[in-house]
Amino acid sequence: MSARNAFYAQSGGVTAVINATACGLIQEARRFPERIGKVYAGRDGIIGALTEDLIDTSLESDADIARLRHTPGGAFGSCRYKLKSLETHRAQYERLIEVFKAHDIGYFFYNGGNDSMDTAWKVSQIAEKMGYPVVCVGVPKTVDNDLPHTDCCPGFGSVAKYVATSIREAGYDVVSMARTSTKIFVLEVMGRHAGWITAACGLAAENNGEPPHILLFPEVPFNPEAFVARVDACVKQYGYCTVAVSEGLSDAEGRLIAESGAKDAFGHSQLGGVGQVVAQLIKDKLGLKYHWALADYLQRSARHLASRTDLEQAHALGVAAVDLALQGKNAVMATICRLADEPYRWEISDAPLAEIANVERKMPAEFITPDGFHITEACRAYLQPLIEGEEPPPFRGGLPDYIRLKNIAVPKKLPAFAV
């Protein structure tokens, strides 16, 4: 069997460790030159395939590919671009196959979250219908940690470590000044429908009374009266109160507490500012001075504080994706299976893309305390191993020393295609 080329693309919001996955995938592909010719990366994700804007990763040195393990962001560019149903966007799916044919691509690796797994699944379907042999493997990535059939998602462990560290440090700051100044601190973190990142903030509170005192999850309808009462009780008992809140916090009718009205490319509501809303609520009801912060991109790009567990899993899944493809496993996603909590042990497996596409895994009820304001010990046992270990990047001149690849384009062979 002659070697065929591979296509790899990064999709959706990037993370501190998605490039570690790219590193593992490219390194593993280079081990099998008799099976895989070149690995082409899509410039700016799936858009690179549609526009035939392919990057030849074979022109990057082994040393530079290895440096991807320590570099945040998306080395080849990512995008928020959803291919809808085969019926609606059939021309786009057919264009993908045309590009694959033109460049003899026999392996398709899509590195992303829920929508990305849906795209990978649909590409496998259209390829089968068109009689074009391509092995499609999904590679998980999402800071939201909401993909099913995997113990956790690469990117989440590092975000979890960052937000837990941040709210612990902010707590030390606030308590220092609470007697005469700010008594309230609110940290808004990512999480549209699933409160995993907010839950991770709870790891900072190892003992009763330690920050964060209150966690607000998307899974728990927001009750303003109960919330204000809890804040008041915390201030009276501890002298201050810290709160972590998910951007997707909603009321009992399912209305988002903070929604701009705009939509992103995936059709999701644009969020942001719920931290200020709940902080102002405290000001209005209790008259307490507050500060609030929006972790935003900082939480998902903080490679300097990445979890070693997360980094190792991200790299291993890139390696596994190639191995699965070479085994002929089509329309699957590489997954992480937890074998034990303490000491944490895990292994790589796989699951059908058809069971993963567009499915969101939310926080289970047993991970949230009965009052809805914190995490349980079961949640702590799940989360704790995912933030363990440090593997800081190399530093130069006092700053992290990251790599920017050359990203040289492959010559085009087809007519232009508008997206």
Q: What is the rounded distance in angstroms from the CA atom of residue 20 to the CA atom of residue 319?
A: 10
Structure tokens at 61: 């040195």
Number of neighbours of residue 306 by Cβ within 10 angstroms: 28
CA–CA distance from 387 to each of 13, 59, 299, 342, 392 (Å)?
20, 35, 13, 13, 13
Pairing of strands 4-10, 214-216: unpaired
Pairing of strands 332-341, 344-352: antiparallel
Before 33, cis peptide (omega within 30)? no
Report the phi/psi class of residue 92: left, alpha or beta, with left for phi > 0 and alpha for psi in -120 to 50: alpha
Q: What is the rounded distance in angstroms from the CA atom of residue 387 to the CA atom of residue 317?
A: 17
CA 153 to chain centre: 7
Q: Give the H/E segment covering residue 128.
A: helix 114-129
> Which residues lie closer than 8 Å to 126 by C-beta, 6 or more apart?
86, 90, 93, 94, 96, 97
Closest alpha carbon to 372 in 249, 272, 255, 259? 249
Catalytic residue among 44, 115, 118, 144: 144
Before 212, cis peptide (omega within 30)? yes
Q: Is 144 an annotated catalytic residue? A: yes
Pairing of strands 54-56, 399-400: unpaired
Closest alpha carbon to 113 in 43, 27, 30, 21? 21
- List residues with catalytic annotation: 144
